[in-house]
Structure 1
Amino acid sequence: MVFVICILIGILTAFVGGLMGLGGGIILIPSLLFLNQLSDAFSWATPQAIVGISLVSMVFTAMSSTIAYYKRGRVDYKTGLLFLSGSLPGGMIGSWLNQFIDGDQFLLYFGCITIVISLLFFIKRKEPTKQISNNISEIRTFELNGITYQYTVSKWVAFVLSLIVGALSGLFGIGGGSIMVPAMILLFGIPAHIATATSMFMIFFISIIGAGTHIALGHIEWQYVFLFIPGAWIGGKLGAWVNQLLTGKTLEWILRIVLIIIGIRMISQGLS
């Protein structure tokens, strides 16, 4: 039964992650924490073990999704590499800090962050085609489906933001997409389809660093990790395929709803 449940969770989390550029940890982590409280069969699912499993699974989710998005020309590699400059060292810092938090703190902090992110989507965002930067190096131009998009990305803002996102990724095992995708859309005016695809490209590298740190710290339950990898690969490809069928506005609304539901659930668990 544990085998079947882990496979199904792997597919579901990777599908949602690939669809919205989240990596999937934001679904996998609360699911395993809930099962840990529900059944002794999941007694191995401590916060540290779950984060380690989440990050290893996200390597395969992000890889399969990035390949799918690459074939459709949706990944803005230049912007992705800029954000990675802070995310990679941040991921190592967050992974190290993870060992100092307990289950209740983990749930409460994670839930609060999720709710805040979902509420940010109701803030009026930048218009991607109207923003003009005084610094030509900050202007990004990207063509998708015959349409040319222009948006501005400040190098220093991108570095500081990605450093924070990387730290939260390593700390909570969420890949950072649940923070990075809203930031790319709201702060920099990047279209949703480009933001989700570029986020998965970044998550691939962030999760490798985070997973490597957790492996070094001995947080990985390998006998369970391998149950999630097949689902992560399949779900990631499926999510990327469904993504192209939806409009940018639809993706944003799905993201809002998912984040609010998960945030409320985790806060209630953390307080109970």
Structure 2
Amino acid sequence: MIGDVSALLAMFALGLAASTFGAIVGLGGGVIIVPALLLLGPSMLGTDIDTAMAVGVSLGALVFTSLTSTLTFVREGKADLRSALFFSISSGPMSVLGASLTSLFDPDAFRRAFGYFMLFMVVLLLLRNRIKPYQGKWRYVRSYTDAAGARHEYGFNALPALVIGGVVGMISGLLGIGGGVLLIPAMVLLFRFPPHIASATSMAVIFVSAVFGSGMHLIRGEWDWLLVAALAPGALLGGWFGARISRRIGSVLLIRIMCGALLLFALRMIMT
């Protein structure tokens, strides 16, 4: 599909921009890559790209984005890999199932329903300080001390983590968006993850989902090696760059960026 330098540069720029933004907010970047391939494919590449192919290619790029961003977050001590493992136990297999179902759903009805759900999640995030915090006890408790010396305690129980991980994996494989649009609000609102820890941990879970989901799309032939290879350099660089930028952004601003990302995604899902 890629036959000239301008197309290669366009794919590199797309991978860089989407992955930088995705790593900052923990969404992965698929929210930009998928619509860009669907809407701009004819102008950038001279051909139409169907939904299943766009999802498969997006997940392939997300493997590179989530890899470099996760490694960066791990070095900075922000990624909670033990918690990510719990979510990944179910997210990986369910992403395979979601990937196998991409071509079976009516795209318009599904996108609209999911878009309205995203609007609901935005409202929850904006009202998070007015929502009574969860007061129960977690089986698995974590703690994090921020740069100011404040200690934050958060945690989860196994069953909710597995259920949420499964839903995240299903959405990731089905839509190619990484799943952070669901995982981060769940971490922040239900388990009281600090926003930066939620974003970093989300990228680790996205890596597992992207590997499994892209593998299924590859098996089904919903894949283009040239497109993935063209997006990969920008995705690698963007994942690292976005992770570095995120540490300079305060928690309040980070939540606002998350809400803005979810809102844009919701509107795109509803209006297309």
Shared fold, TM over 0.5: yes
**Is the 1:132–1:152 Cα contact (8 Å) retained in structure 2?**
no
1:104 Cα deviation (Å)? 3.5
Distance 2:67 2:135 in 1: 33
The reply to whether residue 181 of structure 1 matches residue 184 of structure 2 is: yes
1:9 Cα deviation (Å)? 0.9
Match of 2:9 in 1: 4
1:124 Cα deviation (Å)? 2.7
SS at match of 2:166: helix
Change in 2 beyond 3 A, CA 1:224/1:251: same
Change in 2 beyond 3 A, CA 1:102/1:220: farther
Number of aligned pairs? 266
Gap regions ≥5 residues in structure 1: none
**Is the 1:15–1:235 Cα contact (8 Å) retained in structure 2?**
yes
Pick aligned residue for 2:211 from 208, 212, 216: 208
Q: Deviations over 1:208-263 (max 9, x none)?
A: 01111111111001121111000001111111111000011101101111221232
Note the aligned Cα RMSD (angstroms).
Answer: 2.2
Change in 2 beyond 3 A, CA 1:110/1:32: farther
> TM-score if structure 1 supplies the norm length?
0.90
Distance 2:78 2:265 in 1: 28
Pick aligned residue for 2:144 from 133, 142, 145: 142
1:79 Cα deviation (Å)? 1.1
1:86 Cα deviation (Å)? 1.5
Gap regions ≥5 residues in structure 2: 1-5
Match of 1:169 in 2: 172
Change in 2 beyond 3 A, CA 1:107/1:197: same
The share of aligned pairs that are identical, in percent, is 32
Change in 2 beyond 3 A, CA 1:208/1:126: farther
Match of 2:54 in 1: 50
Match of 1:35 in 2: 40
Distance 1:245 1:141 in 2: 21
SS at match of 2:152: strand
Match of 1:61 in 2: 65
The reply to whether residue 196 of structure 1 matches residue 163 of structure 2 is: no
Distance 1:125 1:241 in 2: 27
The reply to whether residue 156 of structure 1 matches residue 159 of structure 2 is: yes
**Is the 1:23–1:177 Cα contact (8 Å) retained in structure 2?**
yes
1:134 Cα deviation (Å)? 3.7
Pick aligned residue for 1:233 from 227, 231, 236: 236
Q: Deviations over 1:27-61 (max 9, x none)?
A: 1112222214x648353421111111111101100
